[in-house]
Amino acid sequence: MPAASTTLRLLAVSVIASLTVTGCQTLDDAGRTIGRADLVNDLAARLDRALELTYSADYQLPGGQTASISQAQDPARSAYSYPGGKLTVTADATTQCEATGARTVCTLAPPPTPGSKPSVAVFTEAKRRGLLTPPVVVGMLTAAALDPEAVIGQSDTTVAGHHATCVDVDRSAGDFTACVTTEGVLGSFTGHVDGRPVELALNRYSETVDGAAFELPAGAGVVDRRTTGS
């Protein structure tokens, strides 16, 4: 696998690698016994495989706001746009853009290093603005699977014309429902994250990506911290 592709896959590997769990089981709608680890591992594997795909996905957020995820290969790169900001991850830099009024400032930081275990903290601002990225969702699923008091069930639905498997989680830390499409794309999420309600739903999926998705917003100021580390 090319080094750039490995770099982006490492954004999720630290949480995906911890998903081999055992323990309680639940029943699906047909009454079959489903291991909690099986549910989590299946969805995590889908999300992981999707890191190797080229696609763009648009999401509807509450209040008429929108967000998007774009991903391409050769070279591997990804972009996450959300209300008031944008995160771009390439082999050259991890770029966080923030809009304040009419001004947008983009800060360039070093890209994830192959062989390291990047923190999902790079997605913190996107999460705060309502866009849950795949590594964040995998982390939530992992925590739920390891919670002996959690009740986890499975259901199926269709999101934006795509079949999706959903995991319904009931736990003291917060209930949520996450759906992942057959392609491995986050289909929808409803629940509480860090004490705040979060809701998003896929409304468009495409296997093509506009190259402009990975560019900085027009007129944005740039702060390059890749060499200074400041």
Radius of gyration over alpha carbons of the chain, in Å?
18
User: Which pLDDT score, from 0 to 100, does residue 215 have?
Assistant: 93
Strands 103-109 and 221-224: parallel
User: Which pLDDT score, from 0 to 100, does residue 20 have?
Assistant: 32
User: Which pLDDT score, from 0 to 100, does residue 220 have?
Assistant: 94
**How is residue 112 annotated by DSSP?**
P
Distance (Å, whole) CA 135 – CA 230: 26
Phi, psi for 106 (deg, rounded to 5): -115, 125
User: Which pLDDT score, from 0 to 100, does residue 114 have?
Assistant: 63
User: Which pLDDT score, from 0 to 100, does residue 118 have?
Assistant: 41
In the chain the first and final C-alpha atoms are separated, in Å, by 32
Domain architecture of the chain: domains with CATH: 3-224 (2.50.20.10)
User: Under a CB-based contact definition with an 8 Å cutoff, are residues 80 and 87 in contact?
Assistant: yes
Q: What is the mean pLDDT of each run of 10 residues along the chain (230 residues)?
A: 43 36 38 56 80 93 96 90 94 91 92 60 89 87 82 91 93 91 95 91 96 92 79
User: Which pLDDT score, from 0 to 100, does residue 228 have?
Assistant: 57
Could you tell me the CA-to-CA distances from 8 to 74, 107, 125, 133, 140 in Å, in that order?
12, 19, 18, 13, 20
User: Which pLDDT score, from 0 to 100, does residue 47 have?
Assistant: 82
pTM attached to this predicted model = 0.80
User: Under a CB-based contact definition with an 8 Å cutoff, are residues 187 and 173 in contact?
Assistant: no
